[in-house]
Amino acid sequence: MNIVRALKCRECGQEYEIQPTHVCEFCFGPLEVVYDYEKLEGFFTRELIESRPQTMWRYKELLPINGEPTVGVQNGFTPLVRAKNLEKALGVSELYIKNDSVCYPTLSFKDRVVSVALSKAVEFGFKTVACASTGNLAGSVAANAAAAGLESYVFIPHDLEQGKVLGAGIFGTKIIGITGEYDDVNRLCSEVAGKYGWAFVNVNVRPFYAEGSKSLGYEMMEQLGWKAPKHVVVPMASGSLCTKVAKSINEFIKLGLVEDNGTAIYGAQATGCSPIAKSVKEGSDLIHPVRAKTIAKSLAIGNPADGYYANRVIRETGGWAEDVSDEEVVAAMRLLAETEGIFAETAGGVTLGCARKMIESGKLPRDESIVLCITGNGLKTQEAVVDAIDKPRIISASLKEFDILAEADGVK
């Protein structure tokens, strides 16, 4: 059942037929996919969803493709982990990790948006797909395009982590490194998208692409036993994920799949690139672009496309935003690994670090359910922690030498 109605301008409300475009011709506002939810009444039930394979496509009626997906059919459906050890460490009573550090296939939540964007690109008849990326998106576009037999070009800042560069290049994509920041990459990509007939997942196909993030929210609610949490902490780069988690919750409420639990959305940024967090803290809805300087490169978007909308969602839901230093990012990455066995990338350190700060400041209550969105894998950002972790102690294969170490460790 296809319930997609149109593309609609978020500012002036103008509607457009479904097509690869992302900006309103009248007011230059961003376009969003809108649906006729009432068509799903009595059909789109918990039972129907539960009967389907455990992928993000079990919610396919709420994703803007026609019929069955053709790219990324097995993507998504990551574990929601009850974080008992971390609860103790933070002094809270009900904490969950939505663990997209193991998202299929390229270990970040970008696999969700990319499978929608590329399925839609195939529908539209594109043969070449592309993106502007801080790293995870590049890997996901490259891998999913390879599996789908599509050509791909990925554009990244020239100074990304090795794991991000290799984690895209290995798939035989064409990688272009741009001397400059992500915002420069993004600007160039808008020009390239205008000139070449390619599907840029986060430019001309962006309205469809962005909808893919909702699947993270759907899964979270289903995995909580068809409940919306009281609080969700989301890392912010463009700010899009904040808005889409909120949209997913509103849709499930509208469809009667969960009750309204008054969910508040919280945004997390690195201090070295925190334009959205700053605006929330200042009680303003103006986003002042910044030059990014942080180890959390996947979040280093100084001029966030959805900053205004993320700000609004956070303020309207009664949430808050926070930012953390690079040292706090590393400390939080270690804390998450040591308590829950989850090796997240720097963005995960940002999310947990900010959550910790908001718990300590009282912005996040200690006695209500909290979900942390962990969106990428630490094996792609090894540079950030490799010097902070104890190196192996080296001995020869001698029991005597080991005994000395063990004694030093206080082993009995």
88-107 binders of a copy of itself (CB under 8 A): 99, 102, 104-107
The rounded distance, in Å, linking the Cα atoms of 111 and 286 is 30
Kindly state whether residue 393 participates in binding a copy of itself, applying the rule CB under 8 A.
Answer: yes
Segment interacting with a copy of itself (CB under 8 A) among 146-154, 231-239, 275-283, 321-329: 146-154
Q: Which is nearer to a copy of itself, 142 or 354 (CB)?
A: 142
Out of 19, 66, 93, 162, name the contact with a copy of itself by CB under 8 A: 162
Helix (H, G, I), strand (E, B) or coil at 28: coil
Out of 1, 166, 286, 404, name the contact with a copy of itself by CB under 8 A: 166
Out of 2, 23, 37, 180, name the contact with a copy of itself by CB under 8 A: 180
Residue 169 tokens read as 């290049």
β-sheet bridge partners, residue 231: 264, 370
Cβ at position 109, least distance to a copy of itself in Å: 14
Kindly state whether residue 378 participates in binding a copy of itself, applying the rule CB under 8 A.
Answer: yes
Instruction: For 371, list phi and psi in degrees, rounded to 5.
Output: -115, 130
Segment interacting with a copy of itself (CB under 8 A) among 8-16, 231-239, 300-308, 341-349: 341-349
Q: Residue 86's Cα: distance from chain center in Å?
A: 21
CB 253 within 8 A of CB 243: no
Kindly state whether residue 52 participates in binding a copy of itself, applying the rule CB under 8 A.
Answer: no
Size of the site for a copy of itself (CB under 8 A): 78
List Cβ neighbours of 186 (8 Å cut-off, separation of 6 or more).
132, 301, 303, 305
Kindly state whether residue 333 participates in binding a copy of itself, applying the rule CB under 8 A.
Answer: yes
Kindly state whether residue 377 participates in binding a copy of itself, applying the rule CB under 8 A.
Answer: yes
For 90-125, b/e burial (b = at least 16 CB within 10 A) is bebebbbbbbbbebbebbbbbbbbbbbbbbbbbbee
Q: Which is nearer to a copy of itself, 135 or 319 (CB)?
A: 135
CB 290 within 8 A of CB 269: no
Cβ at position 178, least distance to a copy of itself in Å: 5
Out of 11, 25, 191, 260, name the contact with a copy of itself by CB under 8 A: 191
Q: Which is nearer to a copy of itself, 7 or 347 (CB)?
A: 347
Q: Which of 132, 117, 129 is nearest to 300 (CA)?
A: 132
Instruction: For 4, list phi and psi in degrees, rounded to 5.
Output: -65, 125
Q: Write the CA distances from 6 to 21, 112, 208, 289, integer angstroms.
A: 12, 21, 11, 31
Kindly state whether residue 199 participates in binding a copy of itself, applying the rule CB under 8 A.
Answer: no
- 4: how many CB neighbours lie within 10 A of its CB? 18
The rounded distance, in Å, linking the Cα atoms of 166 and 142 is 11
Site for a copy of itself in 116-145 (CB under 8 A): 142-145
Kindly state whether residue 338 participates in binding a copy of itself, applying the rule CB under 8 A.
Answer: yes
Kindly state whether residue 175 participates in binding a copy of itself, applying the rule CB under 8 A.
Answer: yes
β-pairing, 95-99 vs 80-82, is antiparallel
Indicate the helix (H) or strand (E) that contains 265. strand 264-270
Cβ at position 5, least distance to a copy of itself in Å: 32
Kindly state whether residue 342 participates in binding a copy of itself, applying the rule CB under 8 A.
Answer: yes
Out of 158, 281, 288, 293, name the contact with a copy of itself by CB under 8 A: 158
Say which DSSP state 59 is in: G
Q: Which is nearer to a copy of itself, 90 or 145 (CB)?
A: 145
DSSP string, 204-242: TTHHHHHHTTHHHHHHHHHHTTS---SEEEEE-SSSHHH
Kindly state whether residue 404 participates in binding a copy of itself, applying the rule CB under 8 A.
Answer: no
Site for a copy of itself in 298-317 (CB under 8 A): none
For 220-245, b/e burial (b = at least 16 CB within 10 A) is bbbbbeebbbbbbbbbbbbbbbbbbb
Q: Which is nearer to a copy of itself, 119 or 377 (CB)?
A: 377
Q: Which is nearer to a copy of itself, 37 or 226 (CB)?
A: 226
Segment interacting with a copy of itself (CB under 8 A) among 57-65, 227-235, 236-244, 340-348: 340-348
Cβ at position 402, least distance to a copy of itself in Å: 6
